[in-house]
Homo-oligomer: A and B are copies of this chain.
Amino acid sequence: MLLSGGLDSAVCLAAARAEGRECFALSFDYGQRHRVELDAARLLATSAGVTHKVIRLDLRAVGGSALTADVDVPKDREGLDSIPVTYVPARNLTFLSLALGYAEVLDARELWIGVNAVDYSGYPDCRAEFVRAFEHVANLGTRLGVEHMAKGDGPWFQVRTPLVTLSKVEIVRLGTSLGVDFTLTHSCYDPQIVNGSALACGHCDSCLIRARGFADAGVPDPTRYVAGVKRST
């Protein structure tokens, strides 16, 4: 299970646990500017009592994104429907590939990822079509995939995406119904650390989409923003 520490991955984790899964959470220390999300991931994993592993991976060596290079994170973007500079090239493919390797070592069959293709930034690697193609390559490129295929078991590895068709409002509602503690989550791409706490900027895509989700769901937004930031959009 990929666990970034954001709202969606927290709800995804809760959904997997609600289905009775034994979860092994995986996070990536990839040179992201919002590295503080790893603290949130640790808190969420500890709170849920699941195994948590952090893999180091230097995506700054690749660059090409406002999250991994010295490029400003866009603020107050209109529309949110074109792919923004926060897109990290091939990130979910890389993360799923590493999760697949870990799943194979664990002899786990399912990978869970909280991608969402409704209220999102238009990232191509958050769509169901991409996930289905990943499942296919995963089953062709692994020992377990090939062995089960040879036995006639059909595709072995499955990618579970419980949020992919949900709106942000629905994700907030699902999380609420599953008892997710949203105060533990961190979504902001461009946080400020003040007295050891990560405060959300309130203006990046991630903050805007998250705030709108809480507002539209009628759920109080527990996010701690930097001083002077409006809390609703």
Q: Known contacts A58-B56, A143-B124; is A93 also within 8 Å of B88 by CB?
A: no
CB contacts (< 8 Å) of A127 on chain B: these are 140
B133–A90 CB distance below 8 A: no
Task: Give the residues from 130 to 186 in chain A that come closer than 8 angstroms, CB to CB, to chain B.
Answer: 130, 133-134, 136-138, 140-143, 145-146
Stretch with Cβ within 8 A of B (4 or more), from A38-46, A101-109, A192-200, A207-215: A101-109
Copies of this chain held together in the complex: 2
Report A89-104 CB contacts with B as 1/0, cut-off 8 Å: 1111110011011101
Task: Give the residues from 76 to 94 in chain A that come closer than 8 angstroms, CB to CB, to chain B.
Answer: 83, 87-94
A133–B136 CB distance below 8 A: yes
B142–A89 CB distance below 8 A: yes
The docked-state distance in angstroms from the alpha carbon of A87 to that of B137 is: 17
The docked-state distance in angstroms from the alpha carbon of A57 to that of B62 is: 12
* A contact residues, range: 35 or more
> Is A129 an interface position by the 8 A CB rule?
yes
CB contacts (< 8 Å) of A89 on chain B: these are 100-102, 104-105, 142-143
A87–B141 CB distance below 8 A: no
- Inter-chain pairs besides A54-B61, A56-B56, A89-B104, 15 sampled, C-beta below 8 Å: A62-B101, A64-B101, A64-B105, A88-B101, A90-B97, A90-B101, A92-B141, A93-B142, A94-B101, A124-B143, A127-B140, A133-B136, A136-B136, A136-B137, A137-B137
12 CB-based A-B contacts, threshold 8 Å? A54-B61, A56-B58, A62-B105, A83-B143, A90-B98, A92-B141, A93-B142, A94-B94, A94-B101, A127-B140, A130-B140, A134-B137
